[in-house]
Amino acid sequence: MKALFLLSLSLLAVVSSAQDFDFFYFVQQWPGSYCDTKRSCCYPVTGKPDPIFTIHGLWPNYNDGSYPSNCDRQNDFDAREIEDLEKTMQKYWPTLACPSSDGLKFWGHEWDKHGTCAESQLDQHSYFLSALNLYKKANILKSLQDAGIEPDDRYYSVESIKQAIKRGVGFTPGLECNKDESGNQQISEVYLCVDTSGQEFIECPTFPRISCRKEVQFPSF
């Protein structure tokens, strides 16, 4: 009887943690690399974003590299819950999708696809606030500039970019690259890892598949 009880208890634990996750990727993007592609971009209604790395998202992930998505259709994005954060989000989490918009669609997509998978840890307001707080603690552009790496259309080694971010932020980043309209490889996204509380950077348990050559462009914006 006791064994049966313990068995059902552990089964229950497996079922109820099935939606949990192991860590977050906190992903920042270089707007210059989002905008100079074949697809191009549209500036938000608030105007051209500052030439700084901006937030793409805070994504729950598993240690094996896979990730959950769209975890709770009953908990859709509600713009009223982040009214107090909107101004800050427009600055540091700008939408670049076309047609030009205020950002709510982009943030809603991020919450519905990724945020709902961390709802056991963070409600909607804490989810966006956590991302903004992490952003303050990880100044990617400054880390690069301190190492002489500038958004000046020149090529830099991926190794030097990684080292500069490691020195500035304290943790090894994952990098993602894309191609500009002429096919030049450029740095597009920087991944840092965060514990399941959404508060502290950690060393990444696993990195996204590297999509960068040895030398990549850092385009101006």
Among 13-21, 73-81, 107-115, 179-187, the segment contacting ligand AMP (CB under 6 A): 107-115
Of the candidates 91, 70, 80, the residue with the CA atom closest to the CA atom of residue 124: 80
Tokens of 104: 């709510």
**Contact between residue 164 and residue 147 where contact means Cβ atoms under 8 Å apart:** yes
d(CA 202, CA 142): 20
Count the alpha carbons within 13 Å of 82 in the hemisphere toward its beta carbon.
Answer: 25
Cβ closer to ligand AMP: 16 or 220?
A: 220
Tokens of 61: 């992930």
Report 190-219 residues binding ligand AMP (CB under 6 A): none
**Contact between residue 119 and residue 75 where contact means Cβ atoms under 8 Å apart:** yes
56 catalytic residue (yes or no): yes
DSSP 8-state symbol, 218: -
Report 64-103 residues binding ligand AMP (CB under 6 A): 95-97
d(CA 27, CA 189): 7
Count the alpha carbons within 13 Å of 67 in the hemisphere toward its beta carbon.
Answer: 19
Among 9-17, 109-117, 134-142, 202-210, the segment contacting ligand AMP (CB under 6 A): 109-117
Q: CB of residue 206 vs ligand AMP: minimum separation in angstroms? A: 16
Cβ closer to ligand AMP: 115 or 173?
A: 115
With binding defined as CB under 6 A, does residue 57 bind ligand AMP?
A: yes
Report 29-48 residues binding ligand AMP (CB under 6 A): 29, 34
The secondary structure element, H or E, covering residue 32 is helix 31-35
109 catalytic residue (yes or no): no
When binding is defined by CB under 6 A, the residue of 91, 113, 125, 137 that contacts ligand AMP is 113
Cβ closer to ligand AMP: 114 or 168?
A: 114
Q: CB of residue 2 vs ligand AMP: minimum separation in angstroms? A: 46
Active site residues: 56, 110, 114
Residues contributing to the site for ligand AMP (CB under 6 A): 29, 34, 56-57, 95-97, 106, 110, 113-114
